[in-house]
Amino acid sequence: MNTTYKIYNPFDNELIDEFVYDTAQQVNEKVALLKQGRKTLRDIPAFKRSEILRRLAELLEEHAETLAELITRETGKTISDSRVEMNRAINAAIASAEEARQISGEVLDSDAYSPARGKLGIVCWKPLGTVLCITPFNFPINIAIHKLAPAIAGGNTVLFKPGPQNTASAQLLTRLCYEAGIPEACLQLCMPDIPDMPSLVAHPDISCINFTGGTATANAISSAAGYKKLLLELGGNDPLIVMPDADLNAAADAAINQRFATAGQRCTAAKRVFVHNEVFSAFRALLLEKTSKLKVGNPIEDDTFIGPVINQKAANEIQARIEDAIQHGAKLICGNQMDGCIVYPTILEDVPYTCDLIKEETFGPVIPLCKFTDIEEIVPIINSSAYGLQAGIFTQNLALSKYLYEELEVGTLAVNDGPGFRSEHFPFGGVKESGIGREGIKYAIREMSYLKTLVI
């Protein structure tokens, strides 16, 4: 008997809908269909796949407001933030359409090393097979498109497993994929219950797992996956550094937009803000002034900047970490209020580095301000984190930027921007517990492909 799950609006706890988990048998049937669909997709030439993905971008644009409203109801994300997500999803579909036409290999001449044999090696990228795409709650459409579209562009069939909270938006997205021309045998939506996930991950007809989410889940996936290709985009504890020559207004805007937006529930959020002591007081005052003007409340209203976090458990954990930091000597500058699933924007200073608030990835609207004197003193502090996703620095000093590019253990350093910067065609991913592999459309296609050589 199928078990059911209910979806509630995080803002008002309204029951949105009730769904039924797929049984293990239903999931296996979908995997079998996708295995058959590999030939179907091989018979669709690259320019046709490109046209399909371009049509998908058009359909996403046509249904952008409906999907944005669904995202807001499902996740509590503000409607303005959901609209930004839809714009990025449209761009990702367009970029995937363009990259589908650009997949190329190379020809190697065997006479580079003796004994020369007069042979040529023709090297091409080939699809891995069937990709299991597992997406998180915080960007349900954008992250899905960043996985599904490159997989299809590269010729892979896709088993799409969203977070349960996003079932309705995932269903609509899947229908739009079919309407765009992706055959049903090449894309299937599945929602197995948690106990059935290990067997799905280990399924011999799943060739690759593309997962965005937490480290604990990634560890479970890695244990069950065996020799499958893994593309894991995990958490972050991303630093934002503000130097004395920084544009403080721009830096404060980046801290707010990249920490308080999405109620802080972003892997690339500015979770640790290091401010040079020469500008610390000025930056703190500016940050406090801007934060005081943010509207907190109903996420469906256009001018709301901060809505609820995903559920009460998440809100309670954030609140507990704030209280723990205060008990260990942190000074509260503003915030530390909770109303249901809403956690008000909170700024603290003098947070001990041993507190979970700053040591772990805190998925909520909290900024710990950290004062420093010399850049050399914070590099080991930043690198001591288990994570290494992205970093940002505000400075006019190019030499300093180059120094940090070499020294910081991260996948990306953004200069005069926050760690939340991302562009669809840039490589995206981190080191250490922030994951393995790279997203970004061209790079994601390569991650979900293998090199095959013909010698003639």
Tell me which residues are annotated as active site: 233
The tokens for 149 are 């579209």
Say which residues have a Cβ less than 8 Å from residue 305's Cβ, sequence separation at least 6: 78, 80, 260, 261, 294, 295, 296
Amino acid identity for residue 317 in this structure: E
What whole-number distance in Å separates Cα of residue 400 and Cα of residue 393? Answer: 10
Burial 21-60 (b: 16+ CB within 10 A, else e): bbeeebbbebbebbbebbeebeebeeeebbbbbbbbbebb
> Other CB atoms closer than 10 Å to residue 214's CB: what's the count?
16
**Residue 10 dihedral angles phi and psi, to the nearest 5°:** -65, -20
Amino acid identity for residue 407 in this structure: E
The tokens for 193 are 């219950």
Amino acid identity for residue 240 in this structure: L
Which single residue is written with the structure tokens 């290494």?
Answer: 388
Q: Phi/psi class of residue 447: alpha, beta or left (left: φ > 0; alpha: ψ in -120 to 50)? A: alpha
Please tell me what DSSP assigns to residue 437: S
What whole-number distance in Å separates Cα of residue 398 and Cα of residue 139? Answer: 33
Burial 378-398 (b: 16+ CB within 10 A, else e): bbeebeebebbbbbbbbbebe
CA dist 201 → 133, 207, 346 (Å): 11, 9, 39
Which single residue is written with the structure tokens 């990025």?
Answer: 88
CA dist 31 → 5, 186, 270 (Å): 23, 10, 39
Kindly give the residue spans of alpha helices, DSSP state H, lying in 43-191: 46-62, 64-75, 79-100, 142-153, 167-180
3 state DSSP class of 129: coil
